[in-house]
Amino acid sequence: MARTGPVGVGFIGTGMISNTYLENLARFPDIDVIILGDLNVEAAKARAAQHGIRQWGTADDVLNHPDVEVVVNLTIPAVHAEVASKAIAAGKHVWTEKPISIDRQSGHDLLVQAEQAGLLVGVAPDTVLGPGMQSARRAIARGDIGEPLSAQTVMQYIGPDIFHPNPEFLFSRGAGPLFDIGPYYLTALVQLFGSVASVAAVGSTGRATRTIQAGDRAGTTFEVQVPTHVSAVARFVDGGVSQSVFSFDSPLTRMGYVEVTGTEGTMIIPDPNMFTGEVKITRAPAFSAIGDDPQWESVPITGVYAERGLGMLDLARAARTGGKPLASGELGFHVLDTLVAIDEAITEERVVAVRSRVDRVPSVTEDYAPFIATL
Ligand SMILES: NC(=O)c1ccc[n+]([C@@H]2O[C@H](COP(=O)([O-])OP(=O)(O)OC[C@H]3O[C@@H](n4cnc5c(N)ncnc54)[C@H](O)[C@@H]3O)[C@@H](O)[C@H]2O)c1
């Protein structure tokens, strides 16, 4: 018999970001978080107590739970595909944190496995489903900046060793600024321009070791295994080019810079790591002297504001009602393919073609209602 009522959810991985998910999912009546699991059962137990979740245990306890329909995979990137694959094998739909995997093959295999099992895979980020990006998309679709031609994005700061209590994974293969933060910016660019055709990039590592700055292990030094500064350019299949900086090496913080230039104007888009923000456009005047302040027009921000977890809710509803999640596995895979291609462009010093394609990502309807029970 088809299930009704809230979708049963189990978490695998109860580290830092699980807190945010648990706070936010509690506001969605269509979601019922049943059990939390982690390699570290004590961490799962503590997190469960903090959020009033009655059951906790290992990853297997989550996978074997008969009431869990969707697994939320909040483990570290190196095991995202492995954990997600086990969830699919256990008959569960999966929402996974980004990136979907750290190599193309396991990401691809996961999607094939899910397709064959008739199960859904959704991949973070879901920030791009927020009113900021969605309003920008609507403005571009209306022609507010004419034909989009190019974009530039900047994300630079000193790095997550400053705040994360266990930051080693963020400086290991499958992370660094490119794989850790790049998914936000590349997902935004793919939403705006469509599939990436090719990339070129250079990268560097500012410091060979880092020292943890926060938490119980502050003072611990560890090795950096990836480039901590990446400059990448991309060409899109349907036209348009972009240039991006992803850096954990900059004392000067610049976050969330996304500018899209079209034939009629340049649009500033909110930080793709956030759900909303200001969208504004400046248009070419008849003559603009260098140094003149640009004139800005604000774009109205519309759509529903719901923090991290919105994509997971959309996947859970799709699991019950049919259809595909907006933040789909295919989108997550194309972003991964692009990240890996950028990595290859750095190490092999060449332009790398991106072979996967993703259908145009559907937009969120303006009346989407996360806080109302629908199931
Ligand atoms: N921390 C953030 O601000 C943030 C923001 C957005 C997204 N994310 C993403 O969320 C994911 C988790 O990040 P985090 O900061 O919470 O990491 P974390 O290190 O704090 O937590 C990861 C948890 O996963 C558990 N784990 C690892 N392998 C496991 C396995 N095989 N089975 C079961 N449990 C396992 C660990 O024991 C740990 O408790 C990452 O992909 C990260 O990119 C983090």
CB 275 within 8 A of CB 132: yes
Q: State the pLDDT at residue 286.
A: 57
For residues 301, 305, 309, 314, the Cα torsion angle rounded to the nearest 10 degrees is -80
The one-digit pLDDT tens for each residue of the chain (375 residues) are 678 899 999 999 999 999 999 999 999 999 999 999 999 999 999 999 999 999 999 999 999 999 999 999 999 999 999 999 999 999 999 999 999 999 999 999 999 999 999 999 999 999 989 999 999 999 999 999 999 999 999 999 999 999 999 999 999 999 999 999 999 999 999 999 999 999 999 999 999 999 999 999 999 999 999 999 999 999 999 999 999 999 999 999 999 999 999 999 999 999 999 999 999 999 876 555 666 678 899 999 998 888 899 999 999 999 999 999 999 999 999 999 999 999 999 999 999 999 999 998 888 988 899 999 999
Q: How far is the CA of 221 from the centre of ligand 1 (A)?
A: 20
Reference 229, options 201, 268, 200; nearest CA is: 201
Query: Which runs of consecutive H residues, i.e. helices, occur in the chain?
Result: 16-25, 41-51, 59-63, 80-89, 104-117, 131-142, 176-180, 182-193, 310-321, 329-348
Q: How far is the CA of 239 from the centre of ligand 1 (A)?
A: 36
| Ligand 1 touching residue 79 (CB < 6 A) | yes
The Cα diameter of the chain in Å comes to 69
Residue that the structure tokens 């109860």 belong to? 14
Q: How far is the CA of 17 from the centre of ligand 1 (A)?
A: 7
Q: How far is the CA of 226 from the centre of ligand 1 (A)?
A: 18
Phi first, then psi, for residue 149 (nearest 5°) are -115, -40
Instruction: State how far the Cα of 136 lies from the Cα of 268, in Å rounded to an integer.
Output: 9
| Ligand 1 touching residue 312 (CB < 6 A) | no
Atom of ligand 1 nearest to the CA of 308: 6
| Ligand 1 touching residue 76 (CB < 6 A) | yes
| Ligand 1 touching residue 13 (CB < 6 A) | yes
Strands, E assignment, the chain: 7-12, 31-37, 55-57, 70-73, 93-96, 121-123, 148-156, 196-204, 209-211, 221-223, 229-236, 241-247, 254-262, 265-269, 280-283, 297-298, 352-353
Q: Whose CA is nearest to atom 28 of ligand 1?
A: 75
CB 95 within 8 A of CB 126: no
Q: State the pLDDT at residue 290.
A: 63
Atom of ligand 1 nearest to the CA of 175: 43
pTM: 0.96
Q: State the pLDDT at residue 289.
A: 62
Q: How is residue 111 annotated by DSSP?
A: H
3 state DSSP class of 307? coil
- Counting Cβ atoms within 10 Å, is residue 221 exposed (0-12), middle (13-18) or buried (19+)? exposed
CB 24 within 8 A of CB 49: no
Instruction: State how far the Cα of 91 lies from the Cα of 303, in Å rounded to an integer.
Output: 33
| Ligand 1 touching residue 14 (CB < 6 A) | yes
3 state DSSP class of 346? helix
- What is the distance between the terminal CA atoms of the chain, rounded to a whole angstrom? 14
Q: Whose CA is nearest to atom 20 of ligand 1?
A: 15
Q: How far is the CA of 109 from the centre of ligand 1 (A)?
A: 22
